[in-house]
Amino acid sequence: MPTKPRTQGHPDLESVMFTEEQIKTRVRELGQEIRAVFGSGEFTLISIINGAVMFTADLMREIDNPVRLDCIRISSYGDKMKSVGAPQVVASLTIDITNRHVLLIDDILDTGKTITLVSGLVRKHNPASLRTCVLLDKIGRREVNFEADFVGFKIPDKFVVGYGLDFAERYRNLPCIGVLSPRLQNASAWA
């Protein structure tokens, strides 16, 4: 049976913003950019989950330094499309990062609240250095002044899903990133 080309997206998407191939190419470049800044020494990756799972898994395979990995679980959206109130830390660090070089990874930088909160939390553990990497940067949406050190793609203010990004926990497994179809962007579509 012929398989569907993976660049075609998904029927629930209005449009594909980045294909699997485009993501792969950019993630590879990001690995090189990170390597150019960090050199060949060891550092610690901190992934903000769930959204950054896929990006983290692919990015760390493009970095051949010795790395350690930890995750911080943050809740911000619930089932809604705009963040409501302050993001909450649901599960924090489990390894010691004192005097370690740290790279904090998130899927998308939007208002800036999440990464500002997590950066503050990480800094309390006195890392040797802290840098940040996001796959997507929604320009013009910032409520808190924050710029990431490494950015995959700058994107317009559209609600995107796929490649780890969800809507009500769905679509994280899409290999591409796309704009969710407007007919699915309200809760009644899921009733």
Positions marked catalytic: 110
Per DSSP, helices labelled H in 6-150 are 20-38, 53-60, 113-123
- What is the C-alpha to C-alpha distance for residues 29 and 135, in angstroms, rounded to an integer? 12
Instruction: Assess 137 for contact with ligand 5GP (CB under 6 A).
Output: no
CB 59 within 8 A of CB 74: no
Residue 165 binding partner per list Mg ion, ligand 5GP, none, with a CB distance cut-off of 5 to 8 Å that depends on partner kind? ligand 5GP
Instruction: Assess 159 for contact with ligand 5GP (CB under 6 A).
Output: yes
What does R_g of the chain's alpha carbons equal in angstroms?
Answer: 17
CB-nearer residue toward ligand 5GP: 35 or 175: 175
| Stretch in the footprint of ligand 5GP (CB under 6 A) among 12-20, 55-63, 109-117, 124-132 | 109-117
CB 181 within 8 A of CB 14: yes
With residue 86 as reference, give the H or E element that holds it: none
Residues 6-45 as x/- pattern, contact with ligand 5GP by CB under 6 A: ----------------------------------------
Among 13, 59, 109, 177, binds ligand 5GP (CB under 6 A): 109
CB-nearer residue toward ligand 5GP: 53 or 65: 53
Which parts of this chain interact with Mg ion (CB under 5 A)?
Answer: 51
CB 47 within 8 A of CB 60: no
- What is the C-alpha to C-alpha distance for residues 22 and 28, in angstroms, rounded to an integer? 10
CB-nearer residue toward ligand 5GP: 104 or 161: 161
Angle between helices 20-38 and 53-60 (to 10 degrees): 60
Residues that bind ligand 5GP (CB under 6 A): 48, 51, 76-77, 83, 87, 106-114, 159-161, 165-167
